[in-house]
């Protein structure tokens, strides 16, 4: 063993744990780490971002993509507060992530030194674990623990503060071992009870969601649904856990749920919820599945024992990770009675009817735009979005074909789509990545166009522009009709804005213009932006702004 400074020890641990990508906004508070990353720049790619919220969201998206902790480095004080939005998203989305924050030296602590914050208190309820590494010789221990905490049970974010004197100090210390994936398997008793419930269910329904899935567990879920002839819905913004073109797929269980699907779940005599927390969005405000005691028989499977029984007193609670549980499901023989077979086709028919064409005011028809996307994008294309009514078109009418083709925040964070797309593209440059954003959502992280150009991340950005905060305007018209205040926006020419960064940019003002614009973006070989100018009346697929106002 040779003496190393804290920055070198930290980066050596990241390499041992398999790190190959990290996101940052540089700061003087962690210069030894930057220097150590320079020494290993051939092994860990460092994406330099233009705002800490962008860096944190990119790391969160990378954690979603890989199931390993996404890594983000920011400086103290303002850097940490800016990055907190990514930590919040990682927590609510159950995404493994580690945020490293430069910190004032221990000799200055508790004096309100320059940019000093106590991160244990700041992030205490926003992360799975928050700690400060005060000794260089304990860095291997802390990093190993951070990886295990972020990836075990209900996955989530870890925050580690790095005092300047810790990073600069020298220590002779052994490296830790690489982290290990820890799984929890269902008990034999639980599987026997589940078997009996499946055998007696006449109207079963499966809801898949949450974190901890991988390609193998998704394939096992599909096999289980095929053998048992079960309709499957995906929880809010987890639509890529089941092929949306599969005949067993019944739709997304989230905001603006298909009324027929909601009725089907309410009428189910058995709901098998595999992975989701069953939060407000997935349960339509705890109404599709009532709390605390549902009308349906409920089997709730979750990787975090603290989630079981937290809201719902399920008939059967199973503590298991998705991989271990899905393997057991895939091995089951046919258990469900023949009477359930017809329900799969009926649920699929309701889903396809819900996806039927919707005409909206204006020259751009978003339903047709979605059809062009489905036709022209490869099946493994990744689509990202933040928050806003524009996302309804994507969630309702696009068909996600494979695992990790959707990156969207269950936290409802605006500004997520752009950095998430960059994080996904940095992780897998061979895949097509499309970022969907509204005009309000886009400008929250639009500066990351510079990151796309600098790191040659050929993402396609689609900005749906209706010159307002559309979701809030919709609610405003519903609750206070005609009293529009605080929701109108004045926007730049987004195509010209993109070109100023070196991004290809063009404007779509009619449906016919979109397909050739998308074709040019797909062949550009560089970042591209398409601004869709949408009639403000086209606020939802089902109702215009005027109709919402008139009803109110």
pLDDT for 359 equals: 96
Report the pLDDT value the prediction gives residue 1, as an integer from 0 to 100.
84
DSSP conformation letters of 62-99: HHHHHSS-EEEEE-STHHHHHHHHHHHHHHHHT--EEE
Q: How many domains does the chain have?
A: 3
- 3-state class of 402 per DSSP? coil
Tens-digit pLDDT profile for residues 277-328: 999 999 999 999 999 999 999 999 999 999 999 999 999 999 999 999 999 9
Q: What is the mean pLDDT of the chain?
A: 96
Tokens of 208: 């898949």
Measured CA to CA, the distance from residue 544 to residue 551 in angstroms comes to 11
Q: What is the span of the domain harbouring residue 234?
A: 188-354
**Banded model confidence at residue 246, pLDDT cuts 50, 70, 90:** very high
375, 477: one domain:
yes
Residues 18-38 have pLDDT tens digits of: 999 999 999 999 999 999 999
C-alpha to C-alpha distance for 151 and 214, rounded to whole angstroms? 13
Contacts of residue 444, defined as CB under 8 A and 6 or more positions apart, other chains included, come to: 53, 386, 414, 415
**Same domain assignment for residues 61 and 210:** no
Question: What is residue 206's predicted lDDT score, i.e. its pLDDT?
Answer: 98
> What gap in Å lies between CA 201 and CA 268, rounded to an integer?
9
- Where residue 398 sits, what CATH number does that domain have? 3.40.50.970
Q: What is the CATH number of the domain that holds 242?
A: 3.40.50.1220
Mean pLDDT of 425-454: 98
Same domain? 339 vs 414: no
Confidence grade of residue 119 (pLDDT, cut at 50, 70, 90): confident
Please tell me whether residues 105 and 137 are part of one structural domain: yes
Verify that 528 and 399 share a domain, yes or no: yes
Helix locations, 188-232, DSSP H: 188-200, 215-228
For residues 339 and 375, membership in a common domain is answered with no
Q: What is the mean pLDDT of residues 129-133?
A: 97
Instruction: Please write the tens of the pLDDT for every residue from 40-89.
Output: 999 999 999 999 999 999 999 999 999 999 999 999 999 999 999 999 99
Q: What percent of the chain has pLDDT over 90?
A: 96
Judge whether 182 lies within some domain: no
**Residue in this structure with the two tokens 């949450």, named with its chain if needed:** 210
On whether both 131 and 258 belong to a single domain, the answer is no
Together in a domain, 35 and 162: yes
Q: Are residues 209 and 87 in the same domain?
A: no
Alpha-carbon Rg for the chain, nearest whole angstrom, is 24
Helical residues (DSSP H) of 18-173, grouped into ranges = 31-39, 52-66, 78-93, 119-122, 139-151, 164-168
The confidence score (pLDDT) of residue 114 equals: 64
Q: Please identify which residue in the block is written with the tokens 């699907």.
A: 261
Q: Which of 354, 384, 414 is the last residue of a domain?
A: 354
| Confidence grade of residue 109 (pLDDT, cut at 50, 70, 90) | confident
Does residue 167 fall inside a structural domain? yes
Whether residue 519 is contained in a domain is answered as yes
Do 217 and 87 lie in a common domain? no
Whether 108 shows a pLDDT value over 80: the answer reads no
Position 216 in a domain: yes
For residue 492, the model assigns a pLDDT of: 97
Q: What burial letters (b/e) apply to 338-364, b meaning 16+ CB within 10 Å?
A: eebeebbeebbebbeebbeebebebeb
Burial class from Cβ neighbours inside 10 Å (0-12, 13-18, 19+) for residue 483 reads exposed
- Domain contains 177: no
* 336 in any annotated domain: yes
Cβ-based burial of 487 (10 A; exposed 0-12, middle 13-18, buried ≥19): middle
In a domain, 359, yes or no: no
In angstroms, the CA 296 to CA 60 distance is 35
Tell me, yes or no, whether 262 and 125 share the same domain.
Answer: no
* Domain end residue (candidates: 324, 354, 384): 354
Query: What pLDDT does 115 receive?
Result: 65
Helical H segments across 169-293, by residue range: 188-200, 215-228, 259-267
Q: Is 374 strand, coil or helix?
A: helix
Q: Yes or no: say if 505 and 442 are a contact pair by the CB < 8 Å rule.
A: no
- 322 and 255 part of one domain: yes
Which of 243, 268, 265, 267 minimizes the C-alpha distance to 254? 265
Q: Tell me what pLDDT residue 107 has.
A: 73
**Cα–Cα distance for residue pair 433/31, rounded to 1 Å:** 32
Does 360 reside within a domain?
no
* Structural domain ending residue among the three candidates 354, 380, 405: 354
């Amino acid at each position: 063993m040779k003496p190393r400074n804290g920055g070198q020890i930290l980066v050596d641990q990241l390499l041992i744990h398999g790190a190959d990508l990290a996101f940052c906004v540089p700061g003087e508070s962690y210069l030894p780490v930057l220097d150590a990353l320079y020494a290993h720049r051939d092994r860990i790619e460092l994406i330099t971002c233009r705002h800490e919220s962008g860096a944190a969201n990119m790391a969160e998206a990378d954690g979603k993509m890989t199931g390993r902790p996404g890594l983000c480095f920011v400086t103290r004080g303002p850097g940490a507060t800016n990055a907190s939005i990514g930590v919040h998203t990682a927590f609510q989305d159950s995404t493994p992530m580690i945020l490293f924050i430069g910190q004032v030296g221990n000799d200055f602590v508790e004096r309100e030194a320059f940019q000093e914050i106590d991160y244990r208190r700041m992030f205490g309820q926003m992360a799975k674990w928050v700690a400060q590494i005060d000794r260089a010789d304990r860095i291997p221990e802390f990093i190993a623990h951070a990886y295990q905490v972020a990836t075990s049970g209900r996955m989530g974010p870890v925050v580690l503060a790095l005092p300047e004197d810790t990073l600069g100090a020298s220590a002779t210390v052994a490296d830790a071992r690489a982290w290990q994936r820890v799984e929890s398997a269902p008990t034999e008793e639980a599987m026997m009870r589940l078997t009996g419930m499946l055998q007696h269910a006449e109207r079963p329904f499966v809801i898949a969601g949450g974190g901890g899935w991988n390609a193998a567990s998704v394939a096992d879920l599909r096999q289980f649904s095929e053998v048992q002839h079960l309709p499957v819905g995906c929880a809010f913004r987890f639509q890529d856990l089941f092929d949306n073109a599969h005949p067993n797929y019944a739709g997304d269980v989230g905001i603006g749920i298909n009324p027929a699907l909601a009725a089907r779940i309410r009428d189910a005599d058995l709901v098998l919820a595999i992975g989701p927390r069953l939060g407000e969005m997935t349960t339509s405000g705890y109404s599709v599945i009532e709390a605390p005691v549902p009308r349906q028989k409920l089997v709730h499977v979750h990787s975090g024992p603290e989630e079981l029984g937290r809201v719902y007193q399920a008939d059967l609670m199973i503590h298991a990770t998705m991989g271990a549980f899905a393997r057991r499901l895939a091995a089951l023989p046919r258990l469900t009675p023949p009477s359930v077979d017809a329900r799969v086709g009926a649920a699929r028919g309701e889903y396809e009817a819900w996806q039927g064409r919707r005409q909206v005011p204006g020259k751009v028809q978003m339903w047709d735009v979605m059809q062009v996307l489905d036709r022209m994008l490869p099946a493994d294309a990744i689509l990202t979005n933040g928050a806003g009514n524009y996302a309804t078109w994507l969630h309702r009418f696009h068909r996600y074909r494979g695992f990790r083709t959707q990156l969207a925040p269950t936290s409802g964070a605006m500004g997520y789509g752009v950095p998430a797309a960059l994080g996904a593209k940095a992780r897998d440059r061979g895949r097509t990545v499309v970022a969907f954003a509204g005009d309000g959502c886009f400008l929250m992280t639009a500066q990351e166009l510079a990151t796309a150009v600098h790191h040659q991340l050929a993402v396609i950005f689609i900005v749906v522009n209706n010159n307002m905060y559309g979701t809030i305007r919709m609610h405003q018209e519903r609750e206070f009709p005609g009293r529009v205040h605080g929701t109108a926006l004045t926007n730049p020419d987004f195509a010209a804005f993109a070109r100023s960064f070196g991004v290809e940019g063009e404007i779509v003002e009619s449906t016919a213009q979109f397909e050739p614009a998308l074709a040019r973006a797909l062949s550009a070989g560089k970042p591209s932006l398409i601004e869709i100018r949408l009639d403000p009346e086209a606020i939802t697929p089902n109702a215009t702004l005027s109709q919402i106002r008139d009803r109110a």
